[in-house]
A and B are shown apart, each in its own frame.
Chain A
Amino acid sequence: GQQVMQIPQYQHVQEGEDFTTYCNSSTTLSNIQWYKQRPGGHPVFLIQLVKSGEVKKQKRLTFQFGEAKKNSSLHITATQTTDVGTYFCAGHSGYSTLTFGKGTMLLVSP
């Protein structure tokens, strides 16, 4: 079945440093979604990418979808303590269900 892998599993940065998490799928995706889950909270939708090579920005967050639609990345510029949480990518291909990666947990020290 479809597998979605994320790296790193965990990252601890100092406030102001950049952060990137990578997502790779075993199959070509029709779209990819990114979610953020705060400690003790539930996943909250951030963005969806659909087109090959697509790049979208939300303030300090930059999302990319690979040309082959099998990988994606989320980059945060100048992290803040409010960025703390686990970031999940979730991919959908064909008529399969939305498959989530295991997430990257981000810790930010002030």
Chain B
Amino acid sequence: GAGVSQSPRYKVAKRGQDVALRCDPISGHVSLFWYQQALGQGPEFLTYFQNEAQLDKSGLPSDRFFAERPEGSVSTLKIQRTQQEDSAVYLCASTYYSGTAHSSYNSPLHFGNGTRLTVT
């Protein structure tokens, strides 16, 4: 497909379970971002990759959150020991502009449909 693909679309987890969310960016996009969007809020930055390198993970809320992009394409966001406050939509975005992290932040983001995580 031509867009950013995320799976699963919906995920229900019991508190304490681990979850893994997948993002398949647009082909050729070297920059990949993860955002968390709580209900009624704007997307909040979690982490950024340029190819396989995780250049910024300052937005990850705790050490229970871990992201990887081992081959510079597909990325996985893993949340360990999920808590109720983790319930949100997790958005992945990619952009074609490589350059420096600064220039990637200036580029328009192409978002996927997101994964809605509900922790019960």
Known contacts: A41-B113, A95-B101, A97-B56. The answer to whether A33 contacts B44 by CB under 8 A is no
B105:A43 contact, CB within 8 angstroms: no
In the bound complex, residues from chain A placing their C-beta under 8 Å from that of B43 are 43, 88, 100
Known contacts: A42-B111, A97-B56. The answer to whether A102 contacts B41 by CB under 8 A is yes
Interface size of B by CB at 8 A reads 24
Q: How far is the CA of A4 from the CA of B114 in the complex (A)?
A: 23
Partner of A97 from B42, B45, B91, B114 at Cβ < 8 Å:
B45
How big is chain A's contact interface, by range? 20 to 34
**Distance in Å from the Cβ of B8 to the closest Cβ of chain A?**
15
In the bound complex, residues from chain B placing their C-beta under 8 Å from that of A69 are none
Which positions in A face B, CB cutoff 8 Å?
4, 6, 30-31, 33, 35, 41-45, 48, 88, 90, 92, 94-103
Which positions in B face A, CB cutoff 8 Å?
33, 35, 40-45, 48, 56, 58-59, 91, 101-102, 105-106, 108-114
Q: 4 tightest A-B contacts by CB?
A: A100-B42, A45-B108, A42-B111, A97-B45
Complex A-B: 18 CB contacts under 8 Å: A4-B42, A31-B106, A42-B91, A43-B43, A43-B109, A45-B108, A45-B109, A88-B42, A92-B106, A95-B105, A97-B48, A97-B58, A98-B33, A98-B105, A100-B43, A100-B44, A102-B40, A103-B41
